[in-house]
Amino acid sequence: MNSAVCLSNVTAGYAHNVVFARLSLEIAAGRFLGIVGPTGCGKTTLLKTILGTHPVFSGSVLLNGSPVDSVPPGTIGYVPQLGSVDWSFPVTVEEVITMGLYTNRRIWPWAGKEERERIHDLAHRLGIYDCLHHHIVHTSGGQRQRAFLARALINNPKLLVLDEPTSGVDIKTQHEVLHLLGDINNEGMTILLTTHDLNAVASHLPWVICFNNGIVAQGQPRDIFTNEILTKTYGGDLVIVRHEGHYLIANNTPLHLTNGPS
């Protein structure tokens, strides 16, 4: 297998907290893969380990066969959880995208003519051309998501990593973003994302990893989203409804409706 990512016996975490131990994981080049699991189970830590931004306690992390700390800048595109971004920072959508070019360790922080053309082409493709000059704080959740996606794509990376790209946007935008990522993946880019939205994974992603401080299972959603595996991953609170080839994964907690305050 031609691996985009290869983790061997990796133990990682924080000062007094091992998040996962002796984890081995190989991701084939060209995969479009989602990582799901409960809050705090280590998904972001795993992404940061793959990106090489979080030091590991032990083990090795290879990207395209090379140690992660030696891959050239621009090889990996990263879209962080947008909840962690400071929106008061005074930048336009175009400037957010331009920031993606800084990873090339260039001296000038301005885009040249060809780079501006690339930014404009990408903005067209992602549907944010009309708001290129808008301050990022004045854009919608979906436009921000696309601005950060454009910033991650500007260097045409081999691997694109996204932390919860489906959170904080409406269902229509979620589907549009996932469709777009599917199209980008069809052009050959390996894409890895985390999400809490199992229904989005079931309907858009060809491969999924169920994670909980380690890999519970991985495979195609139709094989992986079983009561047994979801119970191992999340505990017993989910039910799966299958209808005409579609999945609905829902909370099993009874909903008690009242007539409101009396």
Total binding residues toward ligand ATP, as defined by CB under 6 A? 11
Binding-site member from 4, 7, 12, 19 for ligand ATP (CB under 6 A): 19
Near ligand ATP by CB under 6 A, which window of 33-41, 58-66, 101-109, 242-250? Answer: 33-41
Binding-site member from 4, 12, 44, 142 for ligand ATP (CB under 6 A): 44
- Residues 145 and 169: their CA atoms lie apart, in Å, by 9
- Residues 169 and 117: their CA atoms lie apart, in Å, by 28
| Smallest separation (angstroms) from ligand ATP to the CB of 143 | 23
Binding-site member from 8, 9, 40, 239 for ligand ATP (CB under 6 A): 40
14 binds ligand ATP (CB under 6 A): yes
41 binds ligand ATP (CB under 6 A): yes
What type of residue is 121? D
17 binds ligand ATP (CB under 6 A): yes
- Residues 53 and 155: their CA atoms lie apart, in Å, by 18
| Smallest separation (angstroms) from ligand ATP to the CB of 168 | 13
43 binds ligand ATP (CB under 6 A): yes
- Residues 26 and 190: their CA atoms lie apart, in Å, by 12
Binding-site member from 45, 49, 155, 185 for ligand ATP (CB under 6 A): 45
Is there a contact between 248 and 241 (Cβ–Cβ < 8 Å)? Answer: yes
110 binds ligand ATP (CB under 6 A): no
Helix (H, G, I), strand (E, B) or coil at 165: coil
Tell me the chain's radius of gyration from C-alpha atoms. Answer: 19
- Residues 195 and 205: their CA atoms lie apart, in Å, by 11
Q: Which residues bind ligand ATP (CB under 6 A)?
A: 14, 17, 19, 37, 39-45
